[in-house]
A = this chain, B = another copy of it.
């Protein structure tokens, strides 16, 4: 299955190495940070990150791609600084990301994340709230610790991104209860939920390395559009992804009745399929989640086909490409070492062709 931009040749090795380096350098500092939490919050956080299992035994569960820490370290190199300069930023951004996962899983009632029970499911809602709060506070603590003016500037940017993240979750919740969501509203929500923190990750290392505001803003622009490209591909994979590759059920976003980009783009089209899709969705909305999940697989296939027929798949694929182009354009005027630029480009390419 192709998602978008199937003709790009992507240097997968370089992206894997980048992500691997991010995990290798950031994880020890992240674990040290989490160790600062008073019990039982340290244990609950360690479970969330996949370092221990439900019984407290050491484990090596999937802790996520850790793309944000990798970006923050690369970000420091943009200024010619060593990647380690970006470490407090890498850890802070990863802490904020996980604060939002803990709270969002509870708000959304999601029982599984990365093939394991979510924190609220295992340790109860109070711990999910509390540990989320603690990770958010810890992010600021780690970032402000050096006491430099760069640290202050980095924290301002992280705070702005966090506010956008929260705005995005508020929009996501309110859209669930609405019959109609426009493509623009969906893009704004995805920009807040995914773009803002990736933007912060790509600029935070540079800020810690002494980059000026103009450079940081341009990097944020790259990261923001990279996030939107990432999310567009995510929305494609959420409907047409290969369950073997994604680790999710087939048609997973359709099962959750998510008003993702392909859906809202399809509904906005003038095609006859859009009318039929809208009619089905109005009927679907009256069903309980249990009734809905009992659907025959063919029902989901029908909806996916209508979305494709109305142009939702093609539009989203083109949108991923447009965001990819905008992201790369933001990099152009910036001075940076050639190997860093190559990696930022490789990462953007990877985002649009990934299968999971």
Spell out A's residues near B (CB within 8 Å): 38-41, 99, 103, 106-107, 125-126, 129-130, 132-134, 136-138, 140-141, 144-145, 147, 149, 151-153, 155-156, 159-160, 162-163, 166-167, 169-171, 173-174
Contact = CB atoms under 8 A, between A and B. Distances in A.
Nearest to A100: B133
A35 to B, nearest CB: 13
Contacts of A107: 125-126, 129-130
Contact of A171 (B38, B129, B133): B38
Contacts of A170: 38-41, 130, 134
Interface of A is mostly: helix
Given A140-B155, A141-B160, A167 B103 contact: no
Among A138, A156, A169, A171, chain B packs the most CB atoms within 10 A around the CB of A156
Contacts of A160: 141
26 contacts: A40-B170, A41-B167, A103-B130, A106-B125, A106-B129, A129-B129, A130-B169, A130-B170, A130-B173, A133-B133, A134-B166, A134-B170, A136-B136, A137-B159, A137-B162, A137-B166, A138-B163, A141-B159, A144-B152, A144-B159, A147-B153, A147-B156, A149-B149, A152-B152, A152-B155, A155-B155
Given A133-B133, A136-B137, A144-B152, 18 more contacts: A38-B167, A39-B170, A41-B170, A106-B125, A106-B129, A107-B129, A129-B129, A130-B170, A133-B166, A134-B163, A137-B166, A140-B140, A144-B156, A144-B159, A147-B153, A149-B149, A152-B155, A155-B155
Q: Across the A-B interface, give the 3 residue pairs with the lowest CB-CB distance, nearest first.
A: A152-B152, A107-B126, A38-B167
A148 B21 CA distance: 34
A169 B144 CA distance: 24
A334 B147 CA distance: 25
Copies in the complex: 2
Contact of A130 (B39, B137, B162, B166): B166
Contacts of A130: 103, 107, 166, 169-170, 173
Among A99, A144, A166, chain B packs the most CB atoms within 10 A around the CB of A166
A127 to B, nearest CB: 8
Nearest to A159: B140
A176 to B, nearest CB: 10
A159 B142 CA distance: 10
Given A129-B103, A133-B166, A174 B144 contact: no
Contacts of A38: 167, 170-171
Nearest to A174: B40
Contacts of A140: 140, 155, 159
A170 B107 CA distance: 20
Contact of A136 (B40, B133, B149, B153): B133
A84 to B, nearest CB: 22
A55 to B, nearest CB: 19
A354 to B, nearest CB: 30
A264 B172 CA distance: 46
